[in-house]
Amino acid sequence: MNAYEQLVAEAQGRPFAAIVGWPVEHSRSPALHGFWLRQQRIDGHYGRLPVEPKRAALEELVGFLKSTPNARGCNLTLPHKIEILPLLDHVAPVAKRIGAVNTVVKLPDGTLEGRNTDGFGFLEALKYNAPHWTAASGPVLVLGAGGAARAVVASLIDEGVPELRLVNRTRQSAVDLGVAFTPADGRRIVVGSWSERSELLAGTTLLVNTTSLGMKGQPALDIDLAPLPRQAAVDDIVYVPLETGLLAAARARGNRCVDGLGMLLHQGRPGFEAWFGRKVDVSTEQRRVVAADLGA
Ligand code: ATR
């Protein structure tokens, strides 16, 4: 049985979606969508689909989703989020702007639409966990300029942040990101050097880490938080471990902290609603179940 046949067999004729990646064994998406399927008593399935990073393999995926009546769509993770774009019938404006798709929805006419819900997930998690933070109240510092940073920067700009400060180890990537997302209304994206990351904290309302630093198996994020105002929030999108060194240090000095699990859970909501027709929210029970699945 190949992976497609296995997924169809697991679904047993029920509507289904899946996480598609290479590798895909470690994804937590089945745990978070499985929680909602059980909670909502929906007779559906959410599985895993390993798909090789080759155009022909992605074309096979697209053909499978279209030709399988009970397939509702999928999530995409590394390394497919960008390569899938030209193969889809429609790409939602936000996904086009970010340049990546994490959610594919089969529309009623059988065509496939690519969406990006990472920025939505990031903002929702921030609003739930740091409700005092408001976009308009001051500058925000974002560390990193990779794929995750694109969704974070786009959503912060759309939310109305008046000044965004961007630093990345490779400065040119931050410059490119700044150029791509500077709005036409006069608000600024200021690019600093990686060595300036601490001093750029002065006067900010929010610090976001989108780098892989602090993740299990990666070096720690080395940053002096002294210039960061105590009222500022600190958001680390890393979720293994849940309490990164950055969050522990920020919490110890009284800053409000947001961990990466919230973003992971909230980014799943729009896909679930589109595939299974039910609005869902994130709960402490779901957090507990997915965190246990992470071994966190
Ligand atoms: P993602 O899709 O999760 O954002 P990515 O696109 O590989 O992953 O981006 C990883 C980010 O972590 C980048 O901003 C990267 O900096 P570079 O652009 O200079 O590579 C950053 N990063 C990774 N390791 C780092 C390190 N040791 N020091 C500083 N930044 C690091």
SS3 readout for the chain: CCHHHHHHHHHCCCCEEEEEECCCCCCCHHHHHHHHHHHCCCCCEEEEEECCCCHHHHHHHHHHHHHCCCEEEEEECCCCCCCCHHHCCEECHHHHHHCCCCEEEECCCCCEEEECCHHHHHHHHHHHHCCCCCHHHCCEEEECCCHHHHHHHHHHHHHCCCEEEEEECCHHHHHHHHHHHCCCCCCEEEEEEHHHCCHHHCCCCEEEECCCCCCCCCCCCCCCCCCCCCCCEEEECCCCCCCCHHHHHHHHCCCEEECHHHHHHHHCHHHHHHHHCCCCCCCHHHHHHHHHHHCC
Q: Which atom of ligand 1 is nearest to the CA of 78?
A: 2
Ligand 1 pocket member 53 (CB < 6 A): no
The pLDDT of residue 60:
98
| Backbone φ/ψ region at 110: left (φ over 0), alpha (ψ -120 to 50), beta | left
Position 227, amino acid? P
Query: How far is the C-alpha of 262 from the C-alpha of 237, rounded, in Å?
Result: 9
Q: Which atom of ligand 1 is nearest to the CA of 144?
A: 14
How many angstroms does the Cα of residue 243 sit away from the middle of ligand 1? 19
Ligand 1 pocket member 146 (CB < 6 A): yes
Structure tokens at 173: 């990537």
Ligand 1 pocket member 222 (CB < 6 A): no
The pLDDT of residue 225:
98
How many angstroms does the Cα of residue 149 sit away from the middle of ligand 1? 9
Ligand 1, atom 5: nearest CA belongs to which residue?
Answer: 146
Ligand 1, atom 6: nearest CA belongs to which residue?
Answer: 146
User: What count of other Cβ atoms lies within 10 Å of the Cβ of residue 123?
Assistant: 19
How many angstroms does the Cα of residue 212 sit away from the middle of ligand 1? 6
Please give the radius of gyration of the chain, using alpha carbons only, rounded to the nearest integer. Answer: 19
The pLDDT of residue 296:
60
How many angstroms does the Cα of residue 40 sit away from the middle of ligand 1? 37
Ligand 1 pocket member 182 (CB < 6 A): no
The pLDDT of residue 33:
98
How many angstroms does the Cα of residue 168 sit away from the middle of ligand 1? 8
Ligand 1 pocket member 169 (CB < 6 A): yes
What's the predicted TM-score (pTM) here? 0.96
Q: Name the residue of 212, 222, 236 whose CB sits within 8 Å of the most ligand 1 atoms, as the mutation to test its pocket.
A: 212
Angle at 234 between CA 231 and CA 239, to 5 degrees: 155
Query: How far is the C-alpha of 44 from the C-alpha of 16, rounded, in Å?
Result: 6
For the annotated catalytic residues, the residue numbers are 81
Spatial strand order in the sheet of 140-143 = 188-193, 163-168, 140-143, 206-209, 233-236, 256-258
Closest to 110 measured CA to CA, from 153, 147, 72: 72
Enumerate residue ranges in the chain where pLDDT < 50.
none
How many angstroms does the Cα of residue 197 sit away from the middle of ligand 1? 14
Q: Which atom of ligand 1 is nearest to the CA of 211?
A: 12
Ligand 1 pocket member 219 (CB < 6 A): yes
The pLDDT of residue 295:
74
The pLDDT of residue 175:
98
